[in-house]
């Protein structure tokens, strides 16, 4: 059967070949209006020590924000989405460099819980762009995706490549922005009115 030349699922499609040729994408190369932390957001600086277990470190630093969102109706799975966004910022964005910052800004007011996870990296694997587009199309609902299977790469022992899929599964909206320092912002929103879904 013929394959659609724009099929993001097909490694040999035209669109995937274009992404493959792209190499790494540096957000500083794009003159796009950067994200600014909204004035009504609280800001936490997340510190991760490579020699300690990630889950406990991350949970202890974001627990207050997560509990606040849960008290307003968010499902406990919100923690998983935030954990994965922070872990991706540390492992991929900041390349495990403890000198680089990770910020989490958040606002629990209104009808949504909004979180921005901000790294100091700003470099993206071009295959990640295709991976995100597939998620934005909702294809992760048909078949749970991990980044390494999607790119036909060996899965490292320290990473499952499922963080993005968990983010899209457990929140209502995921957006990506460039930060003023050139880093990546992953913006997660969860509607309180949809607390029984996801």
Q: Which domain holds residue 177?
A: 14-194
Residues composing the chain:
198
CB contact at 8 A, 189 and 171: yes
What backbone phi and psi angles, to 5 degrees, belong to 118? -125, 125
Instruction: Kindly report, residue by residue over 20-72, the tens digit of the pLDDT.
Output: 776 788 889 888 899 999 999 999 999 999 888 899 999 999 999 999 999 99
- Number of structural domains found in the chain: 1
Instruction: Kindly report, residue by residue over 74-126, the tens digit of the pLDDT.
Output: 999 999 999 999 999 999 999 999 999 999 999 999 999 999 999 999 899 98
In a domain, 50, yes or no: yes
Q: Are strands 112-118 and 184-191 parallel, antiparallel or unpaired?
A: antiparallel
In a domain, 82, yes or no: yes
Question: pTM of this prediction?
Answer: 0.90
In a domain, 91, yes or no: yes
What does the pLDDT read at residue 47? 94
Query: CA triplet 51, 54, 57: central angle to 5 degrees?
Result: 95
In a domain, 3, yes or no: no
Q: What's the CATH number where 175 sits? A: 3.30.565.10
Q: What CA–CA distance (Å, rounded) separates 107 from 170?
A: 17
In a domain, 78, yes or no: yes
- Token readout for 130 is 């295709």
Task: Characterize 58-76 residue by residue with b for buried, 16 or more Cβ atoms within 10 angstroms of its Cβ, and e for exposed.
Answer: beebbeebbeebbebebbe
Determine the angle formed by the axes of helices 126-136 and 163-170, rounding to 10 degrees: 30
pLDDT above 70 for 195: no
Give SS3 for 160: coil
Instruction: Kindly report, residue by residue over 128-164, the tens digit of the pLDDT.
Output: 988 998 899 888 787 788 999 998 899 998 889 999 9
Give SS3 for 186: strand
pLDDT above 60 for 196: no
Q: What CA–CA distance (Å, rounded) separates 112 from 188?
A: 10
């Amino acid at each position: 059967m013929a394959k659609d030349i724009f099929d993001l699922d097909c490694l040999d499609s035209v669109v995937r070949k274009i992404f493959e040729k792209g190499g790494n994408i540096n957000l500083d190369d794009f003159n796009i209006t950067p994200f600014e932390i909204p004035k009504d957001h609280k800001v936490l600086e997340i510190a991760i020590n490579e020699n300690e277990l990630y889950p406990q470190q991350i949970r202890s630093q974001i627990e207050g924000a997560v509990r606040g969102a849960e008290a307003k109706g968010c499902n406990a799975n919100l923690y998983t989405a935030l954990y994965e966004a922070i872990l991706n910022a540390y492992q991929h964005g900041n390349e495990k460099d403890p000198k680089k910052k990770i910020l989490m800004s958040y606002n629990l007011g209104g009808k949504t819980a909004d979180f921005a996870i901000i790294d100091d990296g700003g470099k993206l694997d071009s295959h990640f762009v295709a991976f995100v587009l597939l998620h934005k199309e909702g294809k992760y609902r048909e078949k749970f995706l991990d980044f390494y299977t999607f790119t036909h790469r060996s899965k490292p022992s320290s990473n499952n490549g499922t963080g993005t899929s968990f983010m899209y599964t457990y929140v209502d909206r995921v957006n990506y922005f460039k930060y003023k320092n050139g880093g990546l912002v992953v913006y997660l929103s969860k509607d309180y009115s949809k607390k029984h879904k996801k």
